Homo-oligomer: A and B are copies of this chain.
Amino acid sequence: MTILQEEPAIEPMADAPTPLDGEGFRRAGYALIDWIAEYRATVGQRAVAHHCEPGSIRAMLPPRAPQCGEAMNTILGDLDRVVMPGIVHWQHPGWFAYFPANSSFESILGELASAGLGVQGMMWSTSPACTELETHVLDWLVHALGLPERFLSSGAGGGVLQDTASSAVLVTMVAARERFTGFRSDLRGLGAWEEKARSRSVVVYTSDQAHSSVEKAARIAGIGKEFVRLIPCDRQGAMRADLLAAQMELDRAQGHLPAFVCASVGTTGVNAIDPVAEIAAVCAAMRDPESGATPWLHVDAAMSGTAALCEEFRFVTMGAEHADSWCFNPHKWMPVNFDCDVLWIADRAELVRALSVLPEYLRNTATESGKVIDYRDWQIPLGRRFRALKLWFVLRSFGIEALAAMVRGHVAMAQSLAISVRANEKLLLVTEPALNLVAIAHRDGDEATQRLIDAVNRSGSCFVSHCRFHGQLVLRVSIGALATTQLHVDTLQRLLEHETAS
């Protein structure tokens, strides 16, 4: 298949002063807006990914930064000359790899407005709009996704934007750790928080299909890889709640502290949905006899959370009313450009206590009044940009119905692909697709599956990634790019049929 590699050219413009003045910014800004519009209009004609040698991009760059300013015209032109050859087109309509990373026009404008304003939202007082808009649109989303009211900011809970679900799991795990050590590890560290610390570890739980960020968080938080229990899954890839209970009992019998569970609503591999309500019941039954605390239940619904916009897919929020925290990434399926992870907390007090530092130079009357939220105490960094703008732009320009329609469309495309896989005697549907991810294997085994993956990706018209599930190599089709239509899924389907025709 031949792919047109026509580059959208930067419109010629008279040289603007360097550095740019307002007029130069306008002209360069218009040109860049045009370039983005043109790129998006033609991205489907490009090869999704193409061969690139390590070092080939650097080889086009001079060894030193320029002493004198260069014309913005030249710089923008280098987007085509230098950058494009090393771009994998995540916005391509044939993007079926990893996860959809939708960067809609609306969210691009929101990011642009945020950069234009250039304010810091670390505290309410440093730009009240930055904090209040964020709190407000995250309340909007509680309603739009049908999440429990305990996540609304009007009660003890509330939402906050993190960069990614990795950070969300880290900060909630730290709060959970402190819940179980009575904030003594916050003070004395995990090595010395109590006399018998050596024989008593904080333990975290997730499934063997969960995202790698859970293990990473446990290592960063000083809990250690060995105290991350990877609970086995059922045939569909969902965590076995009974095995979770058994492991927790075992750990407690050994004197350890079962402190944190991360349930996956949509595992990274095959998008399996953990039984959150059952897991919540296990947590409730594990109340610590000394402190009365129950293990913190965090739900990671990074990609699939967006499906809750549709009433018929509200199974993704089942059990959320028992969760201590719940997160999803609008920067995946909901078309908000990276980075934008929403984390809701049922009771913000522990999180805020675990992450608060109030040096003199940040003291202010608004904070001391207790009437405002200071989001710096809900996240790892101190600084934060105005990320709520892009979420606000997307929710308003699309409206909930259009976003829900997008989700429905992608799920229907996935189901159509699943039907064609079932009808193909060479192919196997590895799990039943609950939503927009189709897990496929070749019946002849891993080598044949790998050949299939390579053939699809060589085509240039679509791009898939892989995982292993119960030992088997899986061709993983994640359908969710904003530009994807049934035609693009049909192209993939034809490729699969062509490659499996004998």
CB closest chain-B residue, reference A214: B357
Write the nearest CB–CB distance from A171 to chain B, whole angstroms. Answer: 8
Please determine whether A118 and B91 come into contact, CB atoms closer than 8 angstroms. yes
The A82-121 residues at the B interface (CB cut-off 8 A) are 82-91, 98, 101-109, 111-113, 115-120
Please determine whether A117 and B371 come into contact, CB atoms closer than 8 angstroms. no
Looking at the complex, which of A161-169, A342-350, A409-417 is the stretch in contact with chain B? A161-169
Looking at the complex, which of A130-138, A318-326, A426-434 is the stretch in contact with chain B? A130-138
Please determine whether A380 and B54 come into contact, CB atoms closer than 8 angstroms. no
Digit string of A240-272 for contact with B (CB within 8 Å is 1, else 0)? 000000000000000000000000000011000
| A89 vs B126: C-alpha distance when bound (angstroms) | 9
Task: Note all chain B residues with C-beta closer than 8 A to A185.
Answer: 222, 224
Please determine whether A90 and B396 come into contact, CB atoms closer than 8 angstroms. no
Interface size class of chain A, counting residues whose CB lies under 8 Å from the partner chain: 35 or more
Is chain A's interface secondary structure helix, strand, loop, or mixed overall? helix
| A344 vs B286: C-alpha distance when bound (angstroms) | 44
CB closest chain-B residue, reference A188: B224
Digit string of A19-45 for contact with B (CB within 8 Å is 1, else 0)? 111111110111011111111110000
Please determine whether B41 and A223 come into contact, CB atoms closer than 8 angstroms. no
Write the nearest CB–CB distance from A147 to chain B, whole angstroms. Answer: 13
Write the nearest CB–CB distance from A43 to chain B, whole angstroms. Answer: 10
Write the nearest CB–CB distance from A170 to chain B, whole angstroms. Answer: 7
Please determine whether A70 and B396 come into contact, CB atoms closer than 8 angstroms. yes
The A439-482 residues at the B interface (CB cut-off 8 A) are 465-468, 476
Q: Is A6 an interface residue (CB 8 A)?
A: no
Interface centre among A21, A127, A191 (most CB of B within 10 A): A191
Given A116-B32, A129-B83, A201-B192, do A380 and B26 touch, yes or no (CB 8 Å)?
A: no
Please determine whether B83 and A133 come into contact, CB atoms closer than 8 angstroms. yes
Please determine whether A170 and B380 come into contact, CB atoms closer than 8 angstroms. yes
Please determine whether B396 and A223 come into contact, CB atoms closer than 8 angstroms. no
For A222, give its contact among B41, B166, B222, B357 (CB under 8 Å): B222
CB closest chain-B residue, reference A33: B29
Looking at the complex, which of A274-282, A292-300, A359-367, A486-494 is the stretch in contact with chain B? A359-367
Please determine whether B202 and A198 come into contact, CB atoms closer than 8 angstroms. no
Task: Note all chain B residues with C-beta closer than 8 A to A54.
Answer: 124, 128, 366, 369, 371-372
Q: Is A61 an interface residue (CB 8 A)?
A: yes
Task: Note all chain B residues with C-beta closer than 8 A to A385.
Answer: 337-339
Q: Is A500 an interface residue (CB 8 A)?
A: no
Task: Note all chain B residues with C-beta closer than 8 A to A189.
Answer: 190, 201-202, 218, 222-224, 226-227
Task: Note all chain B residues with C-beta closer than 8 A to A337.
Answer: 115, 118, 385
| A192 vs B18: C-alpha distance when bound (angstroms) | 57
Task: Note all chain B residues with C-beta closer than 8 A to A360.
Answer: 269, 466-468
Interface centre among A40, A105, A135, A384 (most CB of B within 10 A): A105
| A64 vs B256: C-alpha distance when bound (angstroms) | 44
Task: Note all chain B residues with C-beta closer than 8 A to A23.
Answer: 37
Please determine whether B225 and A222 come into contact, CB atoms closer than 8 angstroms. no
Task: Note all chain B residues with C-beta closer than 8 A to A389.
Answer: 83
| A221 vs B21: C-alpha distance when bound (angstroms) | 45
For A225, give its contact among B187, B362, B465 (CB under 8 Å): B187
| A365 vs B145: C-alpha distance when bound (angstroms) | 39
CB closest chain-B residue, reference A466: B361
Please determine whether B103 and A108 come into contact, CB atoms closer than 8 angstroms. no
Please determine whether B133 and A381 come into contact, CB atoms closer than 8 angstroms. no
Please determine whether A133 and B61 come into contact, CB atoms closer than 8 angstroms. yes
Please determine whether B167 and A86 come into contact, CB atoms closer than 8 angstroms. no
Please determine whether B225 and A137 come into contact, CB atoms closer than 8 angstroms. no
Q: Is A314 an interface residue (CB 8 A)?
A: no
For A395, give its contact among B21, B65, B135, B227 (CB under 8 Å): B65
CB closest chain-B residue, reference A35: B116
Q: Is A383 an interface residue (CB 8 A)?
A: yes
For A57, give its contact among B22, B28, B35, B132 (CB under 8 Å): B132
Please determine whether B120 and A87 come into contact, CB atoms closer than 8 angstroms. no
The A43-81 residues at the B interface (CB cut-off 8 A) are 52, 54-58, 61, 64-70, 72, 74-76, 79
Please determine whether B113 and A111 come into contact, CB atoms closer than 8 angstroms. no
Please determine whether B25 and A37 come into contact, CB atoms closer than 8 angstroms. yes
Q: Is A5 an interface residue (CB 8 A)?
A: no
Write the nearest CB–CB distance from A365 to chain B, whole angstroms. Answer: 11
Digit string of A208-230 for contact with B (CB within 8 Å is 1, else 0)? 00011101101111111111000
Write the nearest CB–CB distance from A447 to chain B, whole angstroms. Answer: 16
Please determine whether B220 and A28 come into contact, CB atoms closer than 8 angstroms. no
Give 12 CB contacts A-B under 8 Å.
A25-B36, A32-B112, A57-B136, A65-B143, A68-B399, A85-B129, A86-B132, A115-B337, A189-B201, A189-B222, A212-B358, A360-B466
